[in-house]
Homo-oligomer: A and B are copies of this chain.
Amino acid sequence: MDTKLILQHVSRHIQLDNAEKDFFVSLLHTKTLKRKEFLLRQGNICKTENFIIKGCLRTYTIDDNGFEHILMFGVEDWWVGDLYSFLTQSPATYFIDALEETEVLQISKDNLDKLYNRVPKFERFFRIMLQNAFIAQQQRIHQNLSFSAEERYLNFLTKHPHLEQRLTQKQVASYLGITPVFLSMLRKKMARK
C-alpha cells in the first residue's frame, strides 16, 4: 500500500510517532477505480471516507430531467465521501465516480471511530480538514450568490488552473451551475477580447 502521501498529509497538521502511524495505516484499505467507475451511488450507504492519492473524482446529483449537478471535484491530497451518509450510515444523497484512473485510501466508520479513540490527535486532524472544507464551501456559496456565470468561470480558471485540463466543458459548466451551451458561448465571447 502506498501510504507515503497520506502520512505526509497528516503530518502537516499533527505529529505521530511510529506506532501511531502503523496503527493508522493498519485501518486503511486501498481501492483503485477505472474511469467512470463509481465510488458511491445515490441510495447506497457511504461506508468509507476516501483519501485520494491519485486521480480525480466528482461528487454529483442527477435531477429529474437527467441533468448532472457537480458539487465538487476531488483530486490528490483531498478527502471525498458523502459525509452525512457516512456519519449516519444512511442512504447517500450523492453519486461519486472517477473521471480518470484513480486510487484512494479508505477508512470505514468503525475504523475511524477506533482511530479517534486510540489516537485522539486525529480529532484535531479532521477538525482542521473540516475547517478548510467549510471555508472553501462558504467561498463557493458566496460566489454563486454574488457573481455572474462569466465571473464564476474566470474565477474557476484562476483558482483551479490545473483542473480545467482534466475536465470536459460539460463538467465545468455543471460545476458552475450553467449549461454547456452557455459556457461555450461565454468562451467564444471571452476569446474575442
A residues apposed to B, CB below 8 Å? 61, 63, 69-71, 83-84, 87, 93, 116, 120, 123-124, 126-127, 130-131, 133-135, 137-138, 140-142, 144-146, 174, 177
Contacts and interface: CB of A to CB of B under 8 A. Distances in A.
A52 to B, nearest CB: 18
Contacts of A137: 134, 137-138, 141
Nearest to A69: B145
A70 B133 CA distance: 20
A61 B131 CA distance: 20
Contacts of A142: 61, 69, 71, 93
Contacts of A140: 141
A40 to B, nearest CB: 14
